[in-house]
Amino acid sequence: METAENYLVKGDPLLEIKDLKVSFKTDEGIIPAVDGVNISLKRGHTLGLVGESGSGKSVSTWAVLQLLPKSAIIHKGSSIKFHCKDGESVELTDFKSKSREIRNIRGGEISLIFQEPMSSFSPVYTVGNQIMEAVRAHRDVSKEEAEGIAIDMLSRVGIPNPKRRFKQYPFELSGGMRQRAMISVALSSNPSLLIADEPTTALDVTIQAQVLNLMKELQEELGMAIIFITHNLGVIAQIADEIAVMYLGGIVEQGTRHDIFHNPKHPYTMNLLRAIPRLGKTDGGRLVAIEGQIPSPMERPSGCCFHTRCSEYMPDRCNVNIPQITQISPEHTVRCFLYES
Amino acid sequence: MSASSISTENMSTSAVTAKESEEALRYYSATQWQLIWWRFRHHKAALFAGTVLVVMGLCGLFASFLSPYSAVNRDKNYLLGPPQMIQFWDQKGFSLRPFTHGVTTKRNPTTLRREAKVDPDVRRYIEFFAHGDSYRFLGLFKTDIHLFGVEEGYLHLFGTDDLGRDLFSRTLFGTGTSMSIGIIGVVIAFILALFIGGVAGYAGGWIDYTIQRFTEIIRVIPVIPLYMGLAAAFPKEWTTMQVYFAMTLILGLVGWPTLARRIRGQILSLRDEDYVVAARVAGAGAPRIIGRHLLPAFTSYIIVDLVISFPYMVLSETALSFIGLGLRPPAVSWGVLLQAAQSIRTIQHAPWLFIPAIFVVVAVLAFTVLGDGVRDAADPYSVSEG
Amino acid sequence: MSEQPHRLMEIKNLKKSFPLQTGFLGTGGTETVIAVDDVSFYIESGETLGLVGESGSGKTTIGRSILRAIEPTSGSVHFEPREGEAYEVTGLSNREMKAVRPHMQMIFQDPYSSLNPRMTVRDIIAEPLVVNKLLKGTDIDKRVLEVALRCKLNVEHLRRFPHAFSGGQRQRIGIARALVMHPRFIVCDEAVSALDVSVQAEILNLLGDLQEEFELTYLFIAHDLSAVEYISDRVAVLYLGRIVEIAPSKELFFSPLHPYTSALMSAIPAPDPDSPMQPIILKGEIPSPINPPSGCHFHPRCQFVQTECKTMRPELKEYKPGHYSACHFSDVMELPGASELGESSSIRTSKIRSSN
């Protein structure tokens, strides 16, 4: 996996999402899932997307790969700009979900790993076979060469005895092994962006630590950018450079991980950080719970989505208007009236 | 980076909140069957198919009232006669009362066959609630009133068979017989399946194993020879009624294994659901767990299976009667009716004898479409998440 | 606590194995999965005992065996809901269990599958009362409303079906059901694992409040160690069906005596970018419980493994007051704990590691 594209500099812009809006058509009507999301990601950086259920964190990234189900609508005016390895930049929303262009992007530029690796492998082919296929789809190599590359990759993601594993079927591997194998498939095309959708959620803690370490190592080695989606604040603190906090389809706060964890501005972020039990720090005390329930996407609150549960709720303001994005520092933005002048 | 464009959307949502919350409340306190019905309503084709089947069922149930003649009434002047049209208009002009033309029968001197000829000069007006053959209405009281008839002579909407019996009346009677055989067959199969599959699923272990192997043995016996063997065993002297019930029993006995497997599977998968464990931890005994938690959970799936297995029952009856092993004349069923339409001669001379086949096809299609719709609605809790 | 704490629950030598048929038509013979392998512990009245472990550790099996939701293979469960009222739960017939059931209940992990979607919330909460014939008529409704209100549900909710509720609300319905008979002991089986972070805190708080109000004793089963540390007085760590360590929760998290506990604690990602995780990466994966390793189950992954670890099963021994560990070398090792505390993140070198 040679990094031939030396002129691609870490820190150059890679992905720019502007005003992304996605809705789903259902029997109950049109349900907004992502509502005006802006993300920009630099080469080699890791962006963490944190959010609870219904926050739209997965939907936004599926939109990047045009992998949304048929019932989804990407609204006009949404823009997802991606800078390819060859220096050209493309608008991903222009591509149809089955077009050759987007397939080239999916295979060569952006890869995806999921929470449940079992579902991304075909149960009837060996692991090695599927990795080889992925390798040969992007590189012009013979079967023998591909096998060599595949075995090399299996060992690179820390799978012991890769020659034996190569011949095994997905069900013969444990959850952690499968996740590693999936990472190796995802990285076989040497992508410049890896989207990891809750990759460690189904794993045990000790295995999660292994996989997180592996991802960090591979990023250092291969230089790809990562969008890491999770609901686990501990994991995000350990892996992300920048963090976007999502709530009900929108980003409420965005900044470096230090901004988010040490200087949170949005009431939701602050609450969330106080709501998680921390080892040794919540001695006998109560956790600060966020009042109420996450509203169903069908009954989105008016104004600021969070106003129904917010401790800083200002009547006639938060429930009427939508707060604008406010810059706290060059890299730290928040969407809350508390900071609007 | 602006958000102004979103605000308009949100304004509109707040306006409809009041109306929505009432709807939501109705949804929140809806029972399983209400949810299933709400979902089913969206399936227009299934709704239509259901209506067709209900109409067919009613036709069968009230056959003796709806049909102008009994199944055995012979019109000796109109053997193998083609369908007669109901008309409002003829060469004599318009008539508000619907009528049909009379027929005269003459023997064709060359073929020596009696041939009916429409006589356009004779108008036979149709009467409603006409008196005709007497029958017992739903077995309750004796009457001779039929929905319609003609003053004198006969009216044959679907024509007649070679004995001059009215095909329209016979088709209605046949619909009743065939559908009731299907229903009773399905019910017998269902009761057997519920018991056998239920025991296997809930008891598990060696009981399950034994029952499963037994079920498999029943399943591997080829159906047609089995039917033939059983049907051939009917004593000749049995009455139509006895044969009828024996038929339903055979269909039920052969039909249960598939259903039993499904029920067993359902119970097995539900038995370890958390809410069943919760009931057990609460101290609920087997009867309550089965009655309150397991049965209600899979009845909707079982209904789907019943609906889908129904056409097989009807088709089996039709097939058996068609090859002469099921119901025998004077009983009337779709199979018996189609038996009369077996020969080439029929196709050539009396294609209307195939009319009952249209009913079979429509019924089977309707059941399939209905089954499809019910299946989609059967699990109202599988919320389609985007 | 209005009464003196006593040993409410004493579990001795609990074992549970499942037969597993292999091969075509079961001809491959039977193998056994030993889910719980000779586990003993006690729970004091009014305390919360946390039970942590990774997949295959047998934590759920233990919880369900205690409640006889599944039948343990062997072992005894001694249960004293009040002083002077004692039961040998494992020996009771189904009829005799009727007297014990009202005292012990369970809260489930999945708020979606643990409520029968075809029953109203009122019927779900009332079910334990109805099947045990504890109350009649309007008394049932009175009690149901009382616990429902306590769990922050309202009258209006009782008429609804579970599909009307979100995860957190459903979990509160499940808690109300567990609470309706006023039990003494509740097994919380991953009760907050499936919930969103913001809702999880609320449920943890509720569980804490209810414990005080109803003098409840909890067995809190979870894989989320931070939640366990928060709610538990003592914590037991399971590995492949055996308890490897029990200790008061603070002590367990920050000065573990067993190498597995230590690795587990170090692997918790701290929600703080300034205390980077320095996990002790364990070799390989959790072995299959069908064919567990000999001796100490943890030895193939242990970095301090010695020859006796491979043959001898270590006993669960008390090394400090109330701190039990099942390791041959617990008295000679000094292990790092959770990385949250500033000082522990600079890994203390262990005595054995240097000699190894």
Q: Please state the rounded mean pLDDT for residues A13-25.
A: 91
Q: What is residue C220's predicted lDDT score, i.e. its pLDDT?
A: 95
Contact by Cβ (8 Å): C173, C165: yes
Mean pLDDT over each residue of chain A, to the nearest integer:
86
Both tokens of A100, joined, read: 């050759």
pLDDT in tens, B155-204: 788 878 777 788 888 888 888 888 888 888 888 888 888 888 888 888 87
Assess B28–C contact: CB distance below 8 Å, yes or no: yes
C-alpha to C-alpha distance for A339 and B10, rounded to whole angstroms? 22
Q: Please state the rounded mean pLDDT for residues B61-79.
A: 79
Q: What is residue B12's predicted lDDT score, i.e. its pLDDT?
A: 37
Distance of CA A325 to the CA centre of its chain: 22
pLDDT in tens, C12-66: 999 998 887 655 555 556 778 888 999 999 999 999 999 998 887 889 999 999 9
Q: What is residue A252's predicted lDDT score, i.e. its pLDDT?
A: 94
- A18-54 b/e (C-beta count within 10 Å ≥ 16 → b): ebbbbbbeeeeeebbbbbbbbbebbbbbbbbbbbbbb
Q: What is residue B11's predicted lDDT score, i.e. its pLDDT?
A: 37
Q: Please state the rounded mean pLDDT for residues B67-92.
A: 77
pLDDT exceeds cutoff 50 at C346 = no
Assess C202–B contact: CB distance below 8 Å, yes or no: no
pLDDT in tens, A202-229: 888 888 888 898 889 889 988 899 999 9
C-alpha to C-alpha distance for C222 and A182, rounded to whole angstroms? 27
C-alpha to C-alpha distance for B83 and B171, rounded to whole angstroms? 13
| Higher-scoring residue by pLDDT: A191, B103 | A191
3-class DSSP assignment, residue B157:
coil
Neighbours of chain C (3+ CB pairs under 8 A): A, B
Instruction: Tell me whether residues C250 and A280 touch, CB distance under 8 A.
Output: yes
Q: Find the residue in B nearest to C180 (Cα).
A: B282
Name the minimum distance, in Å, from the CA of B292 to any CA of chain C. Answer: 9
- CA gyration radius, chain A: 21
Which residues, 6 or more positions from A311, have their beta carbon under 8 angstroms from its beta carbon?
A267, A271, A291
Q: What is residue B2's predicted lDDT score, i.e. its pLDDT?
A: 40
Residues in C 109-128 with any Cβ partner in B closer than 8 A: 109-110, 113-120, 127-128
pLDDT in tens, C119-131: 899 999 999 999 9
Percent of chain C with pLDDT over 70: 91
In chain A the beta strands, taken as DSSP E runs, fall at 13-26, 29-42, 46-51, 72-74, 79-83, 89-91, 110-113, 193-197, 225-230, 242-247, 250-256, 326-329, 332-334
Assess C52–A contact: CB distance below 8 Å, yes or no: no
SS3 content of chain C, % helix, strand, coil (to 5): 35, 25, 40
Contact by Cβ (8 Å): B36, B300: yes
pLDDT in tens, A261-307: 999 999 999 999 888 888 776 555 788 888 888 888 778 888 898 99
Instruction: Tell me whether residues B386 and A72 touch, CB distance under 8 A.
Output: yes
Q: Please state the rounded mean pLDDT for residues B355-363.
A: 86
Q: What is residue A336's predicted lDDT score, i.e. its pLDDT?
A: 92
* B296 confidence band (pLDDT: 50, 70, 90): confident
Q: What is residue C324's predicted lDDT score, i.e. its pLDDT?
A: 94
Contact by Cβ (8 Å): B115, B109: no
Domains of chain C by start residue, with CATH: 7-232 (3.40.50.300), 256-269+278-355 (no CATH)
Across the interface, of A204, A209, A258, the residue whose CB is closest to C273 is A258
Q: Please state the rounded mean pLDDT for residues B63-73.
A: 80
* Cβ-based contacts of B27 with chain C (< 8 Å): 164
pLDDT exceeds cutoff 90 at C137 = no
3-class DSSP assignment, residue C271:
coil
pLDDT in tens, C87-108: 999 888 888 888 899 999 999 9
| Higher-scoring residue by pLDDT: B11, C73 | C73
Both tokens of B143, joined, read: 């009457």
pLDDT in tens, B310-349: 788 878 877 777 777 777 777 788 877 887 777 777 777 7
Which CATH code of 1.10.3110.10, 3.20.20.10, 3.40.50.300, 3.30.70.3000 fits the domain covering A13-248?
3.40.50.300
* Cβ-based contacts of B1 with chain A (< 8 Å): 18-19, 38, 325
Q: What is residue C175's predicted lDDT score, i.e. its pLDDT?
A: 95
pLDDT in tens, A93-146: 888 888 888 888 887 889 888 887 777 788 888 888 888 888 887 778 888 888
Assess B385–C contact: CB distance below 8 Å, yes or no: no
Q: Estimate the crossing angle of helix B32-41 against helix B44-61, to 10 degrees.
A: 100
Domain with CATH 3.40.50.300 in chain A: 13-248
Across the interface, of C64, C98, C108, the residue whose CB is closest to B283 is C98
Instruction: Tell me whether residues A324 and B3 touch, CB distance under 8 A.
Output: yes
Contact by Cβ (8 Å): A199, A211: yes
User: Is residue B240 packed enough to be buried (19+ CB in 10 Å), middle (13-18) or exposed (0-12)?
Assistant: middle
* A49 confidence band (pLDDT: 50, 70, 90): very high
Q: What is residue A3's predicted lDDT score, i.e. its pLDDT?
A: 47
C-alpha to C-alpha distance for C142 and B243, rounded to whole angstroms? 59
* Cβ-based contacts of C104 with chain B (< 8 Å): 281
pLDDT in tens, B270-288: 888 889 999 988 888 888 8
Assess B345–C contact: CB distance below 8 Å, yes or no: no
Percent of chain C with pLDDT over 90: 44
3-class DSSP assignment, residue B163:
coil
Q: What is residue A281's predicted lDDT score, i.e. its pLDDT?
A: 66
Residue that has been written with the tokens 């549970």 in this structure? C16
In this structure, which long-range contacts are made by residues B27-34, counting pairs with CB atoms below 8 Å and at least 24 apart in sequence? B27/C164, B28/C159, B28/C160, B28/C161, B28/C163, B28/C164, B29/C120, B29/C159, B29/C160, B29/C161, B29/C164, B30/C161, B31/C118, B31/C161, B32/B296, B32/B300, B32/B380, B32/C117, B32/C118
Q: Please state the rounded mean pLDDT for residues B200-212.
A: 85
Q: What is residue A263's predicted lDDT score, i.e. its pLDDT?
A: 92
C-alpha to C-alpha distance for C52 and C345, rounded to whole angstroms? 22
Residues in C 334-353 with any Cβ partner in A closer than 8 A: 338, 340-341
Longest dimension (CA), chain B: 97
Instruction: Tell me whether residues A235 and C269 touch, CB distance under 8 A.
Output: yes
Assess B29–C contact: CB distance below 8 Å, yes or no: yes
* Cβ-based contacts of C196 with chain A (< 8 Å): 52-53, 231, 294
pLDDT exceeds cutoff 50 at C192 = yes
Contact by Cβ (8 Å): B209, B96: no
* Cβ-based contacts of C197 with chain A (< 8 Å): 52, 231, 233, 272, 275-276
Across the interface, of C204, C254, C281, the residue whose CB is closest to A287 is C204
C-alpha to C-alpha distance for A206 and A213, rounded to whole angstroms? 11
Lowest mean pLDDT among A178-187, B231-240, C16-25: C16-25
Q: Find the residue in B nearest to C100 (Cα).
A: B283
Assess C55–A contact: CB distance below 8 Å, yes or no: yes
* Cβ-based contacts of C269 with chain A (< 8 Å): 208-209, 212, 232, 234-235, 237-238
Mean pLDDT over each residue of chain C, to the nearest integer:
85
Domains of chain B by start residue, with CATH: 74-164 (no CATH), 170-377 (1.10.3720.10)
Across the interface, of A174, A257, A275, the residue whose CB is closest to C273 is A257
* C291 confidence band (pLDDT: 50, 70, 90): confident
Name the minimum distance, in Å, from the CA of B17 to any CA of chain A. Answer: 8
Q: What is residue A1's predicted lDDT score, i.e. its pLDDT?
A: 43
Q: Chain A residues contacting B, CB < 8 Å?
A: 18-19, 24, 26-27, 31-33, 35-36, 38, 59, 69, 71-72, 77, 299-300, 302-303, 321-325, 335
Instruction: Tell me whether residues A279 and C279 touch, CB distance under 8 A.
Output: no
C-alpha to C-alpha distance for C33 and C56, rounded to whole angstroms? 10
Determine the length of chain B.
386
pLDDT exceeds cutoff 80 at A330 = yes
Assess C226–B contact: CB distance below 8 Å, yes or no: no
Nearest to A78 by CA among A26, A35, A42: A35
Instruction: Tell me whether residues C270 and A234 touch, CB distance under 8 A.
Output: yes
* A158 confidence band (pLDDT: 50, 70, 90): confident
Q: What is residue A200's predicted lDDT score, i.e. its pLDDT?
A: 86
Amino acid letter for position A87: G
Distance of CA A262 to the CA centre of its chain: 22
* Cβ-based contacts of B288 with chain C (< 8 Å): 131
- In sequence order, the β-bridge partners of residue B148 are B128
Neighbours of chain B (3+ CB pairs under 8 A): A, C
Q: Find the residue in B nearest to C159 (Cα).
A: B29
- C45-71 b/e (C-beta count within 10 Å ≥ 16 → b): bbbbbbbbbbbbbbbbbbbbbbbbbbe
Assess C273–A contact: CB distance below 8 Å, yes or no: yes
pLDDT in tens, B124-166: 787 788 787 788 877 778 888 888 877 777 778 887 877 778 8
Q: Where are the alpha helices (DSSP H) in A157-251?
A: 162-166, 175-187, 205-222, 233-239
Task: For strands B93-107 and B87-90, give the pairing.
Answer: antiparallel
Instruction: Tell me whether residues A300 and B17 touch, CB distance under 8 A.
Output: no
Alpha-carbon separation of residue C235 from A140, A210, B266, C3, C231 (angstroms)? 56, 24, 39, 23, 10
Q: What is residue B97's predicted lDDT score, i.e. its pLDDT?
A: 79
CA angle, corner C14, sides to C10 and C15, nearest 5?
170
Cis bond before residue C259 (omega within 30° of 0): no
Nearest to A50 by CA among A262, A231, A196, A198: A231
* Cβ-based contacts of A69 with chain B (< 8 Å): 386
Across the interface, of B1, B4, B13, the residue whose CB is closest to A38 is B1
Instruction: Tell me whether residues B32 and C117 touch, CB distance under 8 A.
Output: yes
C-alpha to C-alpha distance for C237 and A192, rounded to whole angstroms? 41
* B8 confidence band (pLDDT: 50, 70, 90): very low
Amino acid letter for position A247: Y
Across the interface, of B6, B384, B386, the residue whose CB is closest to A36 is B6
Q: What is residue B112's predicted lDDT score, i.e. its pLDDT?
A: 67
Q: Please state the rounded mean pLDDT for residues C281-309.
A: 86
Residue in A205, A257, A269, A271 to test binding to C, most C beta-carbons within 10 Å: A205
